Amino acid sequence: MNVTSWLLCLALGGDVGIDQRVGESVSFDLVFRDETGAPIRLRDAAGGKATVLALVYYRCPMLCNQVLNGLLQTLLELPLDAGRDFNVVALSFDPSENAELARSKREHYLKAYGRASAREGWRFLTGEREPIEGICRDAGFRTSFDPATGQYAHGAALVLLTPEGKISRYLYGVSYPVRELKLSLVEASAGKIGTATDQFLLLCMQYDPASGKYGWAVTRILKAAALATVLGVGVLIFVLTRRARPQDGEA
C-alpha cells in the first residue's frame, strides 16, 4: 500500500485497507445484478477481456465519486476504448444499493465518456451481501460500515484483472496516469492490445507493488540493450557475408 492509501485508511479508521492479491484469482462465477436488476456473473461482465474493476458504492459522498471521476478522466485520454479493447466494471460493495441507482450512475458516466463501445463494456453492478463479501475478500478490499453516519470507510484503488480473472495490478488513489493504466491493461491482456511501443516499454519497465506504478528496471533495460546489440551484430555479419560472396560467373 502506498503513502496515499495509508493516509486515507488512517483517516477513515477501523479495519480498512487494501491487501494486494496480485497473481491470485477472483471468483469469476459470483453472481451480481446488472443495471436492469437481472443476475449477471462477474465472468460475463468482464466479457473475456482485460478488465478494470472499481469497488465503490454509489451513494458515497466523497471518495468513490473521486475514484470514478479519476477513472473517467483517464479513460477520456486513453487511446484504447472501453468495451472494445477492455472492459470496466464498477461494483457496489453496499448490499442495500439497487439496480435503479446503478443504472442512473451508469448513464451519467456513459454520457460523459461519449464512446459507443462503452455501452456494453462499462457495467455498474450491485449485489447481495454474500457475493459482495466474496469479491472484496478475493480482491483484498477491506471496508468498515459506520452505523452512526450510514457510510463506509474504505480505501481507493482500481483492480486490474486478466481475461481469466487473475489479479494483475492495483492502481492506488483517485488519479490514474494514462501511461500507468495503459501499461497495466496491455500487461493484463498479455499483449493482445496496445502497440509495439507499449510492448517494448513493458520489457524495460517493472511494476512496483508498493507504489502501484511502473518504473524503469535497470536489469531489463540492460537485457533489452544486449539483445538489440546481438541482433545488430547478427545483421551486420549477415550483410558483410553476403557482400563477400563471389558473384555468379566470377572466377
89-142 pLDDT, tens digit each? 999 999 999 999 999 999 999 999 999 999 989 999 999 999 999 999 999 999
Domain limits for position 38: 3-191
Predicted confidence (pLDDT) at residue 204 exceeds the cutoff of 80:
no
* Predicted local confidence at residue 245, as pLDDT: 60
Structural domain contains residue 199? no
Could you tell me the pLDDT band of residue 212, with boundaries at 50, 70 and 90? Answer: low
The one-character DSSP state at 59 is T
Residue 243, domain member (yes or no) = no
Residue among 95, 84, 75 at smallest CA distance from 158: 75
228, part of any domain? no
- Domain assignment present for 205: no
212 domain-assigned = no
The sign of the torsion formed by the CA atoms of 39, 166, 112, 12 equals positive
DSSP annotation of 58 reads T
Rounded to whole angstroms, the Cα distance separating 235 from 124 reads 52
The count of domains in the chain is 1
pTM: 0.76
- pLDDT value at position 223? 58
Contacts of 238 (CB under 8 A, 6+ apart): none
Helix (H) or strand (E) holding 186: helix 178-188
- Domain presence at residue 41: yes
Give 57's pLDDT tier (boundaries 50, 70, 90). Answer: very high
**Within-domain flag for 222:** no
CATH number at 58 reads 3.40.30.10
Please report whether residue 178 resides in a domain. yes
Predicted confidence at residue 241, as pLDDT, reads 73
